[in-house]
Amino acid sequence: MDLTELLNKCALANKPDEKKVNELERKEDELFQKIYREWKGTKAEDKDLTYKVIPKFYFKLPKEDEILPQKLREETRALFLQKRSRQLLDNNELKALWVLLDKHHSKPISGDEQLINYEDFKKVGALAGSKCAPYFTAVVFAKLQQGDPHGRISIMALFNYVMRKVWLHQTRIGLSLYDVTGQGYLRESDLENYILELIPTLPQLEGLEKSFHSFYVCTAVRKFLFFLDPLRTGRVRIQDILACSFLDDLLELRDEDLPKDLQEANWFSAPSALKVYGQYLNLDRDHNGMLNKEELSGYGTGTLTGVFLERVFQECLTYEGEMDYKTYLDFVLALENRHEPQSLHYLFRILDINNRGYLDTFCLNYFFRAIQEQMTMHGQEPVSFEDVKDEIFDMVKPADPCKITLQDLLSCGQGDTMVSILIEFHGFWAYENREAMAADNGDESSHV
């Protein structure tokens, strides 16, 4: 036997049994798991086996470069929206529902209004079919109660309720088609596409030149974003769009015979949009498409104080010290709707010169000094700041007697008046002469 063979035999003799080693390692692992569980405690998912069968409920959105998952998701959403659309009542089905309601109204007759009791209500629901089932429940019947001594509800109120629900669902589906991300909200570009494609369906906008369409869309979209996106995230929830009245105002333009006064009061009408854009062009004296502080000072009655305008340009988005049309629209919406919470939030941010979240005597005095200067320029005796300060605090009644917060402004119900006193001479003059103006209005109404 040579040396090599002898060494190999010695190595084999000293090699441990692999089976025994594996068995020892398994026992060691079991012991460790037992000690670890006793130390940490048993988890709920170890006790309850149903944890092992919970379906997956979170799916990551596909990335932009993942073309196939993107296409699959778009197709799936389109099929889902089509299915939901088929579940809605069409015009013929609504007409058939009205015939059923008209046939099954309940006695006794109460004037010209047709009423229906709960038994007949359920009977109509059964005859109307499965599509109408969601509208013929006890909850809906209770909602439409108006104190009838026989416990009935108005057929017209019920039909209007169904019509409104169908319209809401149709509109939600229509808006969802523009929801590119599929997460229940529309971005600014999505809203722009929606309104641009809506323009041809609105008879009141037929006269708009195509060159003005982009400015119209910008004007319309800005109202949605200003009021429904106060945190400036660049997107608006579809649920919020449906809950507010803006869409009703926009779709009101389908009425070919809409009165002139309603058109002028509607932000989305052609006369209103042209008026806002026309004012912007008139203010832009150097015709560079932007507004500087001097140009913006001509806004409205031209009595906004320089101090206020200075703060506007400090706090709002500008380009080399000049304001573009979108920023101007926010400015207009804030000043024309000063009683709205979003407008007060916008204006409070400008008044809060120290960014402390409250207005103190120093802030109020900082803005009111400019009002006093305008009073002197107009030949009027300046009013004492102390008197105005006391009136403001009495008006707002803040939680802290030395500080006015945004919540105080929202709660007092007179935030718009307080802001007007501080930012423009015309607003202050109207407040100072409110009693005389009220008396004049009373005299005028008595002569009518």
Domains of the chain: which residue ranges? 76-175, 178-283, 301-448
**For helices 425-432 and 434-447, what crossing angle results, to 10°?**
70
Q: How confident is the model at residue 448 (pLDDT cuts 50, 70, 90)?
A: very low
According to CATH, what is the number of the domain 178-283?
Answer: 1.10.238.220
pLDDT of the residue at 353: 94
pLDDT of the residue at 50: 72
Task: Using DSSP bridges, classify how beta strands 358-359 and 404-405 pair: parallel, antiparallel or unpaired.
Answer: antiparallel
Q: How confident is the model at residue 365 (pLDDT cuts 50, 70, 90)?
A: very high
pLDDT of the residue at 17: 65
48 pLDDT more than 70: no
The total of other beta-carbon atoms located within 10 Å of residue 132's CB is 19
CA 307, CA 182: separation in Å to the nearest integer? 45
User: 110 phi and psi, to 5 degrees?
Assistant: -120, 90
> Which sign does the torsion angle of CA 134, 135, 138, 142 carry?
positive
Kindly state the helix (H) or strand (E) to which residue 160 belongs, with its residue range. Answer: helix 155-176
Residue 192: alpha-carbon gap to chain centroid: 15
Region 18-23: mean pLDDT is 73
pLDDT of the residue at 29: 81
List, in order, residues 6 or more apart from 213 with CB less than 8 Å away. Answer: 196, 199
Which of these ranges, 215-219, 220-224, 383-387, has the smallest mean pLDDT?
Answer: 383-387
Kindly state the helix (H) or strand (E) to which residue 359 belongs, with its residue range. Answer: strand 358-359
pLDDT, tens digit (0-9, with 9 covering 90-100), for 366-390:
999 999 999 998 888 888 999 999 9
Q: Does residue 58 come out as left (phi exceeding 0), alpha (psi in the -120 to 50 range) or beta? A: beta
- Indicate if 301-448 has the same CATH topology as 178-283: yes
Which of these ranges, 1-15, 239-253, 304-318, has the smallest mean pLDDT?
Answer: 1-15
Per the CB < 8 A criterion, the answer to whether 253 and 203 are in contact is yes
Q: How confident is the model at residue 55 (pLDDT cuts 50, 70, 90)?
A: confident
Q: How confident is the model at residue 357 (pLDDT cuts 50, 70, 90)?
A: very high
> Which sign does the torsion angle of CA 211, 213, 214, 219 carry?
positive
What's the DSSP call for residue 400?
B
Region 291-301: mean pLDDT is 94
**For helices 415-423 and 425-432, what crossing angle results, to 10°?**
120
8 pLDDT more than 70: no
- Of the chain, the percentage scoring pLDDT greater than 90 comes to 65
Look at the block and give the residue holding tokens 């008879």. 203
pLDDT of the residue at 191: 96
- Structure token digits, residue 242: 């449906």
Q: Which amino acid is at 234?
A: G
438 pLDDT more than 50: yes
Region 289-313: mean pLDDT is 94
47 pLDDT more than 70: no
320 pLDDT more than 70: yes
66 pLDDT more than 50: yes
Q: How confident is the model at residue 91 (pLDDT cuts 50, 70, 90)?
A: very high
Give 47: exposed, middle or buried? Use CB within 10 Å, 0-12, 13-18, 19+. exposed
Which of these ranges, 39-48, 181-190, 228-237, has the smallest mean pLDDT?
Answer: 39-48
89 pLDDT more than 90: yes
CATH 1.10.238.10 fits 301-448, yes or no: yes
pLDDT of the residue at 13: 53
CA 122, CA 138: separation in Å to the nearest integer? 9
Give 408: exposed, middle or buried? Use CB within 10 Å, 0-12, 13-18, 19+. buried
Q: Which residues of 144-167 are buried (b: 16+ CB within 10 A; e: fewer)?
A: beeeeeeebbbbeebbebbeeebe
Look at the block and give the residue holding tokens 């649920």. 239
Greatest mean pLDDT among 32-46, 359-373, 430-444: 359-373
